[in-house]
Structure 1
């Protein structure tokens, strides 16, 4: 009997909040892109796999639901096959086996079409694997905490339902109404200030001021004066006293971002305020009492800075009265679809075009095309939420007047290259379970392939992209890049409807003859014909 996902080791998952054994993991599918944008974020929890049973995914079943909801609906995309893609427990602990029915659903993982039976490892599921269905819908296959399926109530101004975000909300709710200092850790761009605002808005100080100060943006020689104020005549040019941020936030909350950049003298003064509730303005000799809740954030390794003598250990202990961690975007890929559409709607609203995301027609072309959605999911996002917001703005503005989002070739290439170079971020070339392919051609760089050689190989293999990539000794994503860059080559997706109709008429619906004449992939051309309602001869 094959091992079930109940045996999955959770050592690679965050253990905080999951009990002594860590969280119990359940495979899930989350919608990243769909012709009906409102459905993005719905998910299918696959407890059947944990129990050792199969899940059959098709156009008509099973139902995807919003977290916390009991009502859902199937994918309902008319271009997705009724013949199911089967998901089953794999041969190794934590793995999932995918089986494509003959003539059934077309599934693509990172540019590679799945044929027959394929297996994805536990490590890949922990990262999240995007699956393109029918060239139109993208779902993320990932693992979720079995306890994370209840309604979250107040979202605290945060978009997403991933395990990391739900854990973060719980921490905020536990500490918000207390007056203890909170240290917010997280990479740059993860939204640490948003977390600080959520804590303040749910605290007893919500009617008081919330002041945000970035210590990394203040010159070190001015930091003490900016924070603690100055006494008149404290230094040349100090013609009057200044209250400083601490006194300005009296009765409210002061948020210190990049607290690891605080100069040594400021660290001493911060420690005194936290211990006594009093401060000395620069140049002053009389202590001033302040009633301020201090929230601090950092993306630096403060423990390392303590070892280097650049940060004071007692200050860290005081700042971290309670500590929360903001997960990076790469650890919450199931939230990426909702986050992208959230930022895209904001940009569209600024252009007066927010109605474009109100489409409810399942026959419409997806506003976020499946290949682009897959690239977004596979991208490592070093700049996290901030970078995603900026990219959404760039795509929306750059696609004004177009029916769907379009990425410039340069941007699309950057997304693909970054994803391919990130270890564990995606499945770059999945292998079948039965007979793993052994390359017969030495592997080489795509830059070594000339356009003439590329064209000859495509013609030799009748535009079968898998066979062409194998014969050239390059990965399939690299083959796509070469085709995109070549001004003399195109894919079936580049063909105009009129061109396909003319070829259909000229060759009497013979798919092989059409593919040779148009010089595109036979399979891809067949899918385009299906979308246009054209039936190949003999089918």
Structure 2
């Protein structure tokens, strides 16, 4: 594995090869998350008229919804969605205004019935807003990037969100280059699926793909497992061991959880990457290997380097090309398609896949709208792996039932059952909160309880706040720590403590100057966009930018 000219190429560098590239244009869109006709899930209506300053009417008869990349579409056509349209229009700050007419379709957001006008700010639209229509159809109001849609080969990845399309493009760019790749992403995002796609598209596709989870190998055996060993090299070595590197000769070796590699293994990995040779444990002569290495981690390797737990030269070698797999929270418009994809697999195993083939728009939705809305709004700390497991639980638990429903265990996984919450008034003060509707979208008596209208948040102990709740609150508040603290019912200093204790969150002080500079260029100096990308406090990031002599746009 000799050094090659692409060994130090990063994702950012590859983006810049063709010269400066303007940021893709983001405009609002509606994506079907749940529908009585399951094949409609994933269809989208791009609201370019709203972006152009015009009003879009949403009813059973329009606008048309189509699969991303397709020119042919159909209206929602649900007989319980009113012909009297809802109206969507643009706000000056980039948000979207929704007007719900009297005697029109009942619209529920986060368990609250909307009446009149409701303004959704740009942060809410960027996060994604689940709209339940008539208790039957769920649409996600979100943003799409007009950067060219419809990659021919999905590479086995379900969805068409902007983050996933970018990931596919980067896979195609690097697959045929014999460089090491570092895949970053939260646990459960599908990093091994990305590695397999790189292998299938690359020149080594005829060779073996060997997958190794370093976190599952005892530290004292890691060197022998990876590099092989000679008989008698250590206690219990009763025979020669080939090792994973030699098993992958001529192919691809995928090292998951590379941040768990012991110090001595890190040294040996660096040698293999630099020289293409390894020393089996107990050997005195090197062995040449021809392996493409793909590594993955959900750890903050830069922080481990600062703590002396990971070697900087190894990170530089591993990251010949770096990919980031988006979390499920960043691709909420894909959630409906992913759910039905996994549900179809589970139903096929049960011999009941025909359940999803209905074309009757009058049918009761198999995935009820309130449950679909909760799926979209969940924090998903376990990402796609967690969604797949939860889908299996729902499908198996719903055997013999006409509709899916969450049991108490799933309620807890989804953050508890919906309780109607107060809405933020619109610009003209017309928005009101009403009781959540029943299955036909009509108000229910249960939602008339006083606590459904209580705006106060009960005080809590910081120890009661889960990491998923903390992350959801930070994102919902656009990383305003005081607003997040108020939403969680804890003191603001406790938010700092929880961030500091979390292995998956970081502060602006944790960012190195190079990462900030790359993000500054990619976001065109837009501070709000940088906050969404880097996921740190806006105020603290603004201070770091001033320290680096960078002038950000925005307040």
Give the TM-score normalised by the residue count of structure 2: 0.75
2:484: which partner in 1?
A: none
CA distance in 2, matches of 1:418, 1:267: 46
Match of 2:94? Answer: 94
Is the 1:16–1:22 contact (alpha carbons within 8 Å) kept by the matching residues of 2?
A: no
Which residue pairs with 1:201 in the alignment? 200
- SS of 1:297's equivalent in the other structure is strand
Deviation digits for residues 488-537 of structure 1, max 9, x if unmatched?
A: xxxxxxxxxxxxxxxxxxxxxxxxxxxxxxxxxxxxxxxxxxxxxxxxxx
Q: CA deviation at 1:412?
A: 2.7
Corresponding residue for 1:239? 238
Which string of whole-angstrom CA distances, capped at 9 and with x for unpartnered residues, describes residues 459-501 of structure 1?
xx994836844676678xxxxxxxxxxxxxxxxxxxxxxxxxx
Deviation at 1:419, TM superposition (A): 8.6
Q: For the structure 1 residues 438 and 346, does the alpha-carbon distance in structure 2 shift closer, same or farther, using more than 3 Å as the test?
A: closer
Contact 2:42 2:67 in 1 (8 A): yes
* Matched residue, 2:6: none
Partner of 1:39: 40
CA contact (8 A) 1:96 1:120 kept: yes
For residues 93-132 of structure 1, the aligned pairs below 5 Å read: 93-132=93-132
Corresponding residue for residue 391 of structure 1: 390
Whole-angstrom CA distance in 1 between matches of 2:32 and 2:44: 6
Q: Distance in 2 between matches of 1:68 and 1:244?
A: 45
Instruction: Quote the RMSD (CA, aligned, Å).
Output: 2.5
Q: Which residue is 1:273 aligned to?
A: 272
Decide whether the 8 Å contact of 1:112 with 1:430 is kept in 2: no
Q: Which residue of 2 aligns with 1:305?
A: 304
**Matches of 1:29 and 1:284 in 2, distance apart?**
61
Change (3 A) 1:437 1:139: closer
Q: After TM superposition, list the pairs within 5 Å mapping 1:280-429 onto structure 2.
A: 280-412=279-411, 414-417=413-416, 429=423
Corresponding residue for 1:166?
Answer: 165
Report SS of the residue matched to 1:81: coil
Residues 411 and 297 from structure 1, CA distance in 2 versus in 1: closer, same or farther, beyond 3 angstroms?
A: same
Is 1:66–1:72's contact at 8 Å kept on the other side of the alignment?
yes
Q: Which has the higher contact order (CA 8 A, sep 6+)?
A: 2
Does structure 2 retain, via aligned residues, the 8 Å contact 1:215–1:262?
A: yes
* 1:31-63 deviations in Å (ceiling 9; x for gaps): 000001011000000100111001001001110
Give the CA deviation at 1:239: 2.6
Give the distance between the partners of 1:334 and 1:89, measured in 2 at CA. Answer: 20
The offset of 1:21, in angstroms, is: 4.8
TM-score for both structures, normalised by structure 1: 0.77
Structure 1 partner of 2:142: 142
Aligned to 2:74: 73
Asked whether 1:434 is paired with 2:428, we answer: yes
Query: What secondary structure, in the 3-state scheme, does the structure 2 residue paired with 1:237 have?
Result: coil
CA distance in 2, matches of 1:119, 1:437: 8
Q: Is the CA contact (8 Å cut-off) linking 2:107 and 2:131 kept in structure 1?
A: yes
Tell me the CA shift for residue 151 of structure 1: 2.1
- Relative to structure 1, the CA distance from residue 43 to residue 282 in structure 2 (aligned partners, 3 Å threshold; closer, same or farther) is same
Residues 1:462 and 1:474: Cα distance change in structure 2 (over 3 Å):
farther
Deviation by residue 1:228-260 (Cα, 9 ceiling, x = unmatched): 000122123323211100000000000000000
Relative to structure 1, the CA distance from residue 158 to residue 427 in structure 2 (aligned partners, 3 Å threshold; closer, same or farther) is: farther
Runs of 5+ in structure 1 lacking a partner?
1-13, 421-425, 440-460, 476-539
In the other structure, the counterpart of 1:7 is none
| 403 and 93 in structure 1: CA distance in 2 versus 1, 3 angstrom threshold | same
Deviation at 1:130, TM superposition (A): 0.3
Q: Tell me what 1:249 maps to.
A: 248
In structure 1, what is the Cα distance between the partners aligned to 2:317 and 2:68? 37
Q: Is the CA contact (8 Å cut-off) linking 2:189 and 2:327 kept in structure 1?
A: yes
Candidates 444, 447, 450, aligned match of 1:465: 447
Instruction: Give the match's secondary structure for 1:116.
Output: strand
How far apart, in 2, do the equivalents of 1:430 and 1:36 lie?
32
- Larger of the two Rg values belongs to structure: 1
Q: How many residues align?
A: 434
Corresponding residue SS for 2:237: coil
CA separation in 2, counterparts of 1:16 and 1:63? 37
Structure-2 change in CA distance of 1:103 and 1:264 (3 Å): same
